[in-house]
Structure 1
Amino acid sequence: MVIRWQGVAIVGSVVAATVIPAGPASAWVDSRCGLWTATASYRHASGLSSVYITANVDAKGLWNSNSDVNFVPAASGQTEKVYMTAYNVWSADYDGLWTADDCNANGHSIGTVNVMLNRVYTDSYSSSGKKQVMVHELGHAIGLGHTGSASCSGQPIMYGSSDRYFTCGHIAPQTDDINGANALV
């Protein structure tokens, strides 16, 4: 089954979703399949260019240093929980997306979560621009949904538009994002 939510495809079956209150955060959990775990292994796609690897490493580092989430490299022979890549998707109107292979009855990912940057847009972004898209998409992988407003004051990285960066200059998880992530793990 494929579920489409704001341009994002989720592959798998979702029987039920668990909503966990995020305390003081409004970066809400939705019915999408998230990791909902404090430690998650990751792997980069083979052949991924160094500029995208740097953006991915920096993005996971921002979550690691600012929240209770810990992304760690997958060990040799281990199946990763997060697979980071970049593709050209000409027909899409988004600069990043994530998909989950499969979800359990609680809405937790039981497979690999794929996090992708759309090179059609991001090839022209600065390194910070690429990084903020990956930080945002990793937030979805954690289990956070879109939230916030167009006002730059207090706008979370989980705001649904890249104006979070191009207008407001946000690259890292903000307080709301961190509170939401910590509530999930």
Structure 2
Amino acid sequence: MGRCKGARFTRRCIRVAVSACLTAGLCAGLPAPPAVAADCPNDPNTAGSVDGSELTYTLHTRYTAEWARAREDWNALGKVDIKPHTGTAYADVDATDVDRADIGWSGLWESHELGSDDIVLNAHFLASYSADVKRGVVTHELGHALRLGHRSSPGAVMYCNDTRTAFAPTAADISAYRAVWGS
């Protein structure tokens, strides 16, 4: 199970993999020819992980530099303060890694009713990606935690697969963010 540790975490990794199979194609994560708009429609916004006007996180990932840049990019838009978790209750998001060739995504955001939501980064694919593409994956998954759905344009960081040409929020992403969080 790659970096999955302990029985509880192993079950979570399996649940994440099953969830990804059920939504196959939405965040394929595999380098592929650019999808046409019909293959990647604009999706409604997600439930997100934001609590009030903040998003707290814990990091158990090797992609801390990419996380820091993604956090900086989203925080520059205001409205939601993305910051490290310091309390005793659950963080809003827990970022972890797996290293799995048997699943078809490089990153996954998953919501949970109880406890922290997950952002899982798949080192199997990310290891061969450029720094910009890694940043795009992390920024994309953090966008889901901010309640953003997919965009149909490969020029948006919220495009549904890793053939995106944006690695930070673009005008389309910022517009979607402002639709959720206000100007």
TM-score by length of 2: 0.70
Tell me the CA shift for residue 114 of structure 1: 0.6
Q: Percent identity?
A: 28
Tell me the CA shift for residue 64 of structure 1: 0.6
Q: For 1:130 and 1:162, locate their aligned partners in 2 and report how far apart those are by CA, in whole Å.
A: 9
Tell me which stretches of 4 or more aligned residues in structure 1 moved more than 4 Å.
none
Mark the runs of 5 or more structure 1 residues left unpaired by the alignment.
Answer: 10-25, 103-109
Tell me the CA shift for residue 68 of structure 1: 2.8
Structure 2 residue corresponding to 1:62, chosen from 73, 76, 94: 73
Q: For 2:153 and 2:176, locate their aligned partners in 1 and report how far apart those are by CA, in whole Å.
A: 16
Q: For 2:85 and 2:101, locate their aligned partners in 1 and report how far apart those are by CA, in whole Å.
A: 30
Tell me the CA shift for residue 127 of structure 1: 2.3
Structure 2 residue corresponding to 1:41, chosen from 56, 62, 87: 56
8 Å contact 1:29–1:143 — kept in the other structure? no
Matched, 1:124 2:139: no
Matched, 1:100 2:96: no
Structure 1 residue corresponding to 2:173, chosen from 133, 153, 177: 177
Q: Which residue of 2 aligns with 1:149?
A: 153
Mark the runs of 5 or more structure 2 residues left unpaired by the alignment.
Answer: 1-14, 28-40
8 Å contact 1:98–1:114 — kept in the other structure? yes
8 Å contact 1:27–1:146 — kept in the other structure? yes
Q: For 2:85 and 2:156, locate their aligned partners in 1 and report how far apart those are by CA, in whole Å.
A: 28
Q: For 1:28 and 1:68, locate their aligned partners in 2 and report how far apart those are by CA, in whole Å.
A: 22
Higher helix proportion (structure 1 or 2): 2
Kindly provide the amino acid, as one letter, of the partner of residue 5 in structure 1. Answer: T
Q: How many residues align?
A: 149
